[in-house]
Chain A
């Protein structure tokens, strides 16, 4: 097994993949999220987001404070579609 550094464990995205995207011009967390799904898994970016921000900062010379947070949309936790659709107690 090759040594891999996992940045986003929900979506299995490696540091190498993130660095390549940044080199290709994806410099915001939202762009990286859309291209890789980082931050769209069960943890909603709680694990990977600070790590990705650090990669962007290191590669682009921006300060951490200058890196914009991604958009946080509801729901912030995984929800079953049935629950959202108003399923009754028995369907839940």
Chain B
């Protein structure tokens, strides 16, 4: 192991909305931050979100995700207290609190006094016959190809999942000239916001709730998929099959929080299906069961980017305070952020999140 371990004040693993806001908040308090992001440009999933945000007045309402990414990534890059390491990945969290980082084929080690883990989430998959045929993708992967790289991988697509990602990606594929044969959703209800769902319905895309994929078919690549209906117990009903000739299936069946680093750090993890799977127990300051290790964003539980940004800011604020960086407006800033988080999670849309958080909030 390493001759040269660099000591740093705060390391943030992940430069999406949560990590960027964590870095900005901690830096504003006076702490020195190293932000490590695996992509060429920080911004996380925001960089491919061409739709406008709504719902949160305090945080970038009616702005497009890609512009929010540009704004906060630009602010981080320009901040004298923040060192942004792009195309770099934290590959390990060792017992002594040392982070292993890989960048451009080189390895080095950091020993931060505080760590904020904002690693995000990964797309879930689905088990059905021939689910390995070329042409079957995660919806987020297709969104990246289309919106970030300008590559159109499909002509006619079946979307699986009518949550926000499935419905928004369907609409963006329509905008890119792709035919969306149908959206299939196993749950009895559409999960997406009605604004988004209504847009794809107006465009003539059918949404089959209470349906799932029976099988995909094709010789060397995907040629089509058969769906069938689910009864009230979630069992498929023979005789209800529908056949769609498509060259692509997009899976948007949920996200799993990326908690490997937190597990290595020794943080206590709890299974909370409402938050996407195993997530760390933490307090209202976003500190996990391991002192000095904070979490924010989808790694703390799958939620929207607006909530991730506020969580990041709260984690950054408290991590900085732990190092003695406390600005005179600390209390009012904290109260304002907590209020924003509270209002983002209020109402029926936040019910699932609140139920999940009830299992993981401690202290």
Contact = CB atoms under 8 A, between A and B. Distances in A.
B263 A72 contact: yes
Contacts of B128: 5
A1 B102 contact: no
Interface string A67-92: 10101111111011011101101001
B104 A3 contact: no
A4 B129 CA distance: 5
A64 interface: yes
Interface of B: 38, 89-94, 100, 102, 104-107, 122-125, 127-132, 215, 219, 256, 258, 260-261, 263-264, 269-271, 273, 277-278
Contacts of A4: 129-130, 132
Contacts of B93: 74
Nearest to B270: A65
B91 A76 contact: yes
A3 B122 contact: no
Given A3-B215, A65-B271, A72-B264, A79 B102 contact: yes
Task: Tell me the dominant secondary structure on chain A's binding face.
Answer: loop
Interface residues of A, number: 37
A80 B255 CA distance: 28
Interface string A1-42: 101111101001001000000000000000000000000000
Contacts of A92: 104-106
Nearest to B107: A83
A64 B277 CA distance: 9
A86 B100 CA distance: 13
A48 B261 CA distance: 18
Contacts of B102: 75, 77, 79, 83
Contacts of A15: 127
